[in-house]
Amino acid sequence: MPEEPEITGESSDDLSEAMLTAARSVVRTCMQIRPSEHVLVVTDPETSEVGRALYEATAEVTDRILLMMMPPSHKKGMEPPSPVAELMRQQDVVLLATKTSLTHTRARRNATRENARIASMPGITTEILSMGGMTADYGAMKKEISGLNPLLRKRTSVVVRTPGGTDLSFRTGARWVLEDSGICNRPGQITNLPAGKVFVLPKEGTANGKVVIDGSWEGRMLEEPLTLLIEDGVVIGTSGGEESEEITRVMDEARSRVRTSLIERVGTIAEFGFGMNPRSHISGNQLEDQVVRGSAYIAIGDNSALGGTASVGFQLRGVMSKPSVELEDVDLVVDGKITARKR
């Protein structure tokens, strides 16, 4: 009778080693932590394995390291407990590996004012850390993203099309943002991880056409495509399952609370970008989905963070698959592949 195979636990060991390798990339390449620096890792029960890997990787560089566990009751938009907020202010580096985002909290803003540099990783999973977007070569990606600048400068007219039916045009309202490379080495700097995207503020009132979201919406995989009809820079109609109803509900709620001059601008096309991270894949994690190399995403709602005037208090995001992105005489993306060349 054949012997039963021995269970060695090698797969678990391999996963732990892969996580530690990626965590070292966060510590040494992305954040460039130094032995003299004080570091705080904030995690919670759902992300504790990632938090532990970040702690261990940091401890190889500095012994001035703390690990704090958030309560499981913490919800999106809530401030962290006061001891966590106070410690964040006192650090040189803060690594936020939590289920929900702390990016838009007072605690994060106060830590930034005190010159802490911060990596925010909401919804980070062991898979994303060990096999997904966190395994990218961030040094190489920063160089590639920076190299796009000559093509992006002084060109303003954008056209986006997808096989799913997207046909959108707009003019840029500011410079393209090239800092989302994952490298966070200056005091007071903040980055999302995984990183790797290029994005821009569409000029208000210039976006027209149709967007078909067929990747993910707000970090959820779609059962059917979501269509947005856009006229003069705002969403005027939606269709496609529960997500369409959600957009209508969120926009109606926003209209009831914003000042009169903003009511017609609640559905503003707030941001457009395309992904550059070759290790990411669309999985229903919002941060990772929008950095997938060759994908594109759009945000509707509040554009004030990029210098716009539609301060409407919410933002919703969706990802498109296999886009083609034209910037006047430059093909930035063709059928989901980064090309970045003049025609």
Q: What is the DSSP string of 163-214?
A: TTS-EEEEEBSSPPB---SS---STT-EEESS--EEEE-BPTT--EEEEEE-
The answer to whether the beta carbons of residues 209 and 158 sit under 8 Å apart is no
User: Order of strands across the sheet with 315-320?
Assistant: 197-200, 269-275, 296-301, 315-320, 216-217, 220-221
Percent of the chain residues past pLDDT 90, beyond the cut: 87
Residue 4 forms part of a structural domain: no
Residue 3 forms part of a structural domain: no
Question: Of 112, 131, 150, which marks where a domain is finished?
Answer: 131
pLDDT at 326 (0 to 100): 98
Q: Domain holding 83: CATH number?
A: 3.40.1830.10
Tell me: pLDDT of 6 over 60. no
Question: Of 131, 163, 187, which marks where a domain is finished?
Answer: 131
Both 76 and 174 in one domain: the answer is: no
β-pairing verdict for 39-43 and 65-69: parallel
CA pair distance 23, 296, nearest whole angstrom: 27
Tell me: pLDDT of 9 over 70. no
Both 105 and 141 in one domain: the answer is: no
Range of the domain at 217: 136-342
Question: Of 102, 131, 160, which marks where a domain is finished?
Answer: 131
Tell me: pLDDT of 251 over 70. yes
Residue 105 forms part of a structural domain: yes
Tell me: pLDDT of 4 over 60. no
Both 78 and 178 in one domain: the answer is: no
Both 103 and 223 in one domain: the answer is: no
Q: Which two tokens stand for residue 272?
A: 């457009």
β-pairing verdict for 39-43 and 93-96: parallel
**Mean pLDDT value across the chain:** 93
Q: What is the SS3 assignment for 9?
A: coil
Q: What is the CA radius of gyration of the chain?
A: 21
Q: How many domains does the chain have?
A: 2
What's the pLDDT tens digit per position in 34-49? Answer: 999 999 999 999 999 9
